[in-house]
Every structure is written in C-alpha cells, then in structure tokens.
Amino acid sequence: MKFRVEIRDTSFTTQYILDNEYYDLSWSYSAKGGCGEFSFYLPRKLFEERAISGEYNVRIYFRDPSTDSFVLRYQGLIENKLPSVQGLTEKIQITGHGYYTQLGRVYINNITYTSTEISAIVTNILDNYIVPNTNISYSASNIQNTGITLSSIQFNEYADTALQKLADIAGNVEYGVDMNRNFYFKTQSTSVGFNFPVGFKIQNYDENQDFKSIINRVYVQGAQAGGTYAFFGPYDHAGSQLKYNLRVKVQQNSSISDSTVASQYATSILNEFYDASIRAGFDLMNYSTQIEATTPIPLLNIFIKQDKYAEKRFGEGLYSGLVNFDINRINYNLSNNSGLKTSIDLGKPRPKISETFSAVLYELDQVRSATL
C-alpha cells in the first residue's frame, strides 16, 4: 500500500514530492466539516525546514494498484511546524487542517436574509464572502435545496458559524470542504453503501448505548394568555414506556399556542429520544477503499455472524443484528510498521420526522421574536 505526500506553495506550485521520507502520517475526514486535521514527520535537521512555510498546500495521494496511478485522497494547509532535537535524533513534525479552517477567517457583518430558502443563503455566502477571500470553490450541484424557507435570519459572525447554523436548522445536512477544496451542502444519505461483518474486517469494535436521555412522554408548555400558560399533552410513545418505564419531559416554548403545533413539536421530540442513543467505533486494517469518496457519505451496516441451530459443525451460519449507522468521522493512520489503520466513528441515524425538528424550533423562535 503506497501513499505519497506533496507539498505545494501558496500558488499551488509543487515544492516537494515525498514518497519515502515522511513517517507516521495521519489525516481525518468528518461528515460535517470535510477534510480535517493532518500530521506527519520528516527526519530533517533543525532549520532545514525553512523552505516549508505556513499556509502551504499539503496533498495526500494513494497509488491505485490496478492502474499504478496516484489518486488524491486529502488536501489541507500547513498550520504548524514543530522542529525537535532529541539527542542525536532530529525531526520536524508538520500539522495542519483541511480548507474548512479558512471559513473561520471570513466575517459576515450584519447581513440579513428575508424569505430565502436555506441553500440560496449558502450560495450567496459562498459567492460574496468565501470564494473571493479563500482557496475554496464550489459547484452548484453540490449545494442542495433543503425545502426550508426562512422568514428572516441575521448574521454577525464568522462564515463557519453561519454555515453551521444553517445546517443545524435544516437538520439533516452534511456539509464541509472536500479533498478538491470544494464546498458541499447536501442532504444526508439514507442508503447503505458499506457492509461490514464483525470479526472479519472489523477490529476493536466498541459501542455506547446511552439510556439516560430517553423521553417517552412529552407535555408542552406554550404561550401565555391572561396570566395562564397554555398546556398541551400528554403525548406518549407506548412502546418506549413498556420497555424503559415512564420518562417524562415538560418542554417549554412560548411561541406555541395551538394543539396542532404542540403535537408536531412533541412528536419530533419523541421520535428523536424514545430509544437509546447509540454510538460506535471500530478499526479497519489495510482497507484501501476511500470511505468518503462521495458526498454525502452512505450509511454503514454492521452485522454479526451467528451459527444456525445444530449446524455449527458444518460451518454454516446466518447473519443477524443488522444496524445502520451514520459515519461521523474517519481517522487514517499510516505506520511504517503496521500499515494503514482506518478508525471510524459512528452514530445512529436520526428518524425522518426528527429531521424537521430544528426547522420547527427556528420558526417558533421567529414567532417569539415577532411578538416581543
């Protein structure tokens, strides 16, 4: 398995092609953010790194064994150099981040959008603030319509915070800057693209089932009229109550004044929290497929092989316990001794009705603001 590291200057002119000199190479990718941190070492003497500067471009390539050509897997920029002398050993560590970090340098000053669909706001921010002031570009096909029109929203913040806010309101969006320095803003995938059996490709599988945040009965305390608060409910999830006993939540929102909106609000909460929150993680060794090759990242399916009753001696089995997960983060670590380790952080997908939860909350906040 062969990886190449290239260093280019701020004009993207190649300065170094590193095939064998680097070691302990690592990089990451997140569904929300895109290309993340990277790090590697060079066995160079103190002050020999002066030709490598901050903001230089770093690219990581994988050599495809079927074509013997190098394929881009990651792109970021240098943020830190750490020369180190330890006895007779001298080395320099180079670290940095994907180009999403440039969004935190762009400020959106007192800009208001009214009656505008979310993807149109994203495109406007890209055209007027991000593309002219960063090394980030985008394709119109990578900015998907959310179907959510905001009555009014104002920004006095950095571009990364503004885009995160828009993604949170949409509720089911994957966004960031990919390996080609292209920004994307897309609806999360609902199709399975990866299937892994435990014990075959998967190593070191860990799972966290969190039962503390379960809610299976909701009351909604709404708007105040004549000194009395409107109170709606109960709204129940019977199956969850049978399984986990009663878990009550009284949710306050002073914008709600009728039972239809209260029911929608409570149903979103119940569908989000009626069962355990599940997170998981595992490692893959020397797995060369690029998991984030397409955006949005497809779901991942984990299943366990079990033997059929009375047929174990024949080596027959069946697969059970299928669980679909969102892929939240991928960490790659290339060691000279053990090869490539891929560590994947997973989360249980949100139910479809809960995808509108943040949008409902935002619209309720708009109603509240209008009455102040």
Structure tokens at 325: 């997960």
Structure tokens at 145: 């319509």
Choose the weakest-confidence range: 102-116, 120-134, 222-236.
222-236
pLDDT the model gives residue 307 = 45
Type of residue found at 264:
Q
Query: Are 194 and 138 within 8 A, CB to CB?
Result: no
Domain boundaries, the chain: 3-101, 106-187, 192-209+279-347, 217-275
The terminus-to-terminus CA distance of the chain in angstroms comes to: 62
Query: Which stretch of DSSP H or E encloses residue 23?
Result: strand 23-30
Instruction: Dump pLDDT digits (tens) for 39-63.
Output: 999 988 777 777 889 999 999 999 9
- Widest Cα–Cα separation across the chain: 80
Confidence of residue 351 (pLDDT cuts 50, 70, 90): low
CA distances from 50 to 9, 19, 58, 96, 97 (A): 13, 20, 16, 16, 20
Top-confidence residue, 138 or 352: 138
Length of the chain: 372
Average pLDDT over all residues of the chain: 86
In the block, tokens 């590291």 appear at 5
Q: What is the DSSP letter of 142?
A: E
Structure tokens at 210: 């969190």
The pTM score is 0.82
Q: What are phi and psi of 43, to 5 degrees?
A: -80, 70
Rounded Cα distance, 189 and 353, in Å:
15
Choose the weakest-confidence range: 73-87, 253-267, 349-363.
349-363
Top-confidence residue, 225 or 53: 53
Alpha-helical runs (H) found in the chain: 118-125, 159-170, 238-244, 259-273, 357-371
Q: Average pLDDT, stretch 9-13?
A: 96
Architecture of domain 106-187: 3-Layer(bab) Sandwich (3.55)
Q: Which residues lie closer than 8 Å to 163 by C-beta, 6 or more apart? A: 103, 122, 125, 175, 185
pLDDT the model gives residue 269 = 84
Query: Are 234 and 262 within 8 A, CB to CB?
Result: no
Choose the weakest-confidence range: 8-17, 41-50, 114-123, 227-236.
41-50
Top-confidence residue, 370 or 36: 36
Rounded Cα distance, 224 and 229, in Å:
4
Top-confidence residue, 280 or 158: 158
Residue 57: HSE in the Cβ half-sphere, 13 Å Cα cutoff: 19
What fold, for 3-101? Phage tail proteins - horseshoe like beta roll fold (2.30.300)
Instruction: Dump pLDDT digits (tens) for 270-322.
Output: 888 899 888 889 999 888 889 999 999 999 988 765 544 444 444 444 444 56
Structure tokens at 18: 């590193």
Rounded Cα distance, 357 and 362, in Å:
9
Q: Which residues lie closer than 8 Å to 306 by C-beta, 6 or more apart? A: 317, 318, 319, 320, 321
Confidence of residue 369 (pLDDT cuts 50, 70, 90): low
